Amino acid sequence: MALTYTPDPEIGKICPDFTLPGVDGKKYSLKDFKNSHPLVVMFICNHCPYVKAIEDRLITLGHTLKEKNINLVAICSNDAENYPEDSFQNLQTRWKEKRYPFVYLHDESQEIAKKFGAVCTPDFFVYDKNIKLAYRGRLDDSWKEPQKVAKQELLDAVLKLEKNESLTGPQTPSMGCNIKWR
Q: Are 20 and 27 in contact (CB under 8 A)?
A: yes
Work out the average pLDDT over 49-67. 98
Query: In the chain, where are the structural domains located?
Result: 3-178
The pLDDT tens digits for 138-149 are 999 999 999 999
Query: At the topology level of CATH, where does 3-178 sit?
Result: Glutaredoxin (3.40.30)
The pLDDT tens digits for 101-117 are 999 999 999 999 999 99
Work out the average pLDDT over 130-135. 98
Instruction: HSE, CB side, 13 Å, CA atoms: give it for residue 153.
Output: 19
Given a cut of 80, whether residue 4 has pLDDT beyond it is: yes
Phi-psi region of 131 (alpha: psi -120 to 50; beta: other; left: phi over 0): left
DSSP secondary-structure letter at 16? P
